[in-house]
Amino acid sequence: MKYQHGTHSKSQLSAIKYYHLNPSRLFKSFSIITVLLIAANFLFSTSVYAAGGRVEALQMPAWLERNGELLAIIPGMELEGGDKLTTGTSARLLLRMDEGSFVKLGENAELNLDTLIPAQQDTDIFEAALEVIKGAFRFTTSALGQKRSRKVDVRIGSITAGIRGTDIWGSSNLEKDILCLIEGKITAKKQGEPEFAMEDPLSFFIAPKNAPALPVAPVPQAKLAKWADETELKSGAGVLSIDGQWAVNLMSVASESSARPVMASLAAAGYATSIESAVVNGNNWYRLRVNGFKTRQDASAFASSIDGTNGITGTWIVRF
């Protein structure tokens, strides 16, 4: 497979170049942009993600496989039907679907976006087919998303669930599959067994790999809290987000070509980086950087974990 950095649209690349050349203007326009984004996200219910969804936040390492290419995931990356998402150890993914629902993925997980058909108008139906190959997964409908029509089928190992507007958690491993209904109503079935309705919140069932599914039962609060924690982003532990304003510089070299091998190595390992140019005392320097950390603590945690690997030493944190 070919490894490369996350893709951007032409408009995104233009914006990146503009603000790299004019960094002071980013600060002047930040508050205005924030207001406009909030208005777009919460005051209007029309579809804004023509591709079907996007990555809202993550903890690395994480990869997206598309058309035979393996990409290190970045915040804001658009999602399409056919994409395969994978997380590494201690990683998390937070995805926002076209109609306002959220998908969370825990560590060492794989999720196939078999189908993503965005609604073109308010009255259209958002359709998706999601397949959890392994790991922990959560699907949550936001307050805004509850007003939108959807047809979402989720397969968690041997379990299939039909969703219209609800909150579910599930996981799949070599021994068993689990589906937990946190809120709402769903239809569910284990492969080869009759379909049934789950209408009681805070209920779950287990489907062993080589035995019939166990009866639906109430989920203890302690167990639910443990499960939910498996898909939550860990604040201060390296979270990247769309609105993150902190970056970690990994190295500074005199030639861009010197940074490229490290950039490729990190991308293959699930860490997306970029190369920024700077002039210091009249000399050009090229800095390999990870952008978008949500807080300084997140940036610091990542810097500590990456320092000493891939020939990286002496990382430093900046705000942009």
CATH number at residue 210: 2.60.120.1440
Q: Based on the fold, state whether residues 88 and 189 are members of the same structural domain.
A: yes
Q: Please tell me whether the overall predicted TM-score, pTM, comes out greater than 0.85 for this model.
A: no
pLDDT on residue 50:
55
Residue 7: pLDDT over 50: no
Most confident of the ranges 6-20, 41-55, 110-124, 283-297: 283-297
- Residue 12 belongs to some domain of the structure: no
Query: For the chain, how far is it from start to end, CA to CA, in angstroms?
Result: 33
Total structural domains within the chain: 2
Q: Are residues 299 and 267 in the same domain?
A: yes
pLDDT at 4 over 50: no
- Does residue 309 lie in a domain region? yes
Identify whether residues 72 and 133 lie together within a single domain: yes
| In a shared domain, residues 121 and 254 | no
Question: Where among 205, 229, 253 does a domain terminate?
Answer: 229
Inform me whether the pLDDT recorded for 17 exceeds 90.
no
Statement: residue 313 has pLDDT above 60: yes
State mean pLDDT over 180-186: 95
Please report whether residue 77 resides in a domain: yes
Residue 36 located in a structural domain: no
Q: Are residues 217 and 252 in the same domain?
A: no
* Domain stop point among 209, 229, 249: 229
Q: In the predicted model, what is the mean pLDDT of residues 299-315?
A: 94
- Within this chain, do residues 148 and 296 fall inside the same structural domain, yes or no? no
- The mean predicted confidence, pLDDT, of the chain is 86
Q: Is the pLDDT of residue 19 over 50?
A: no
Amino acid at 256: E
**Residue 97 is assigned to a structural domain of this protein:** yes
Q: What CATH number did the domain enclosing 312 receive? A: 3.30.70.1070
Does 257 fall in a domain?
Answer: yes
Backbone angles phi, psi at 38, to 5 degrees: -60, -45
Same domain, 58 and 169: yes
Nearest to 216 by CA among 186, 240, 175, 248: 186
Residue 167 shares a structural domain with residue 187: yes
In this structure, the answer to whether residues 207 and 274 fall within a common structural domain is no
Average pLDDT over residues 72-97: 97
Torsion over CA of 73, 76, 79 and 84, rounded to 10 degrees?
A: 20
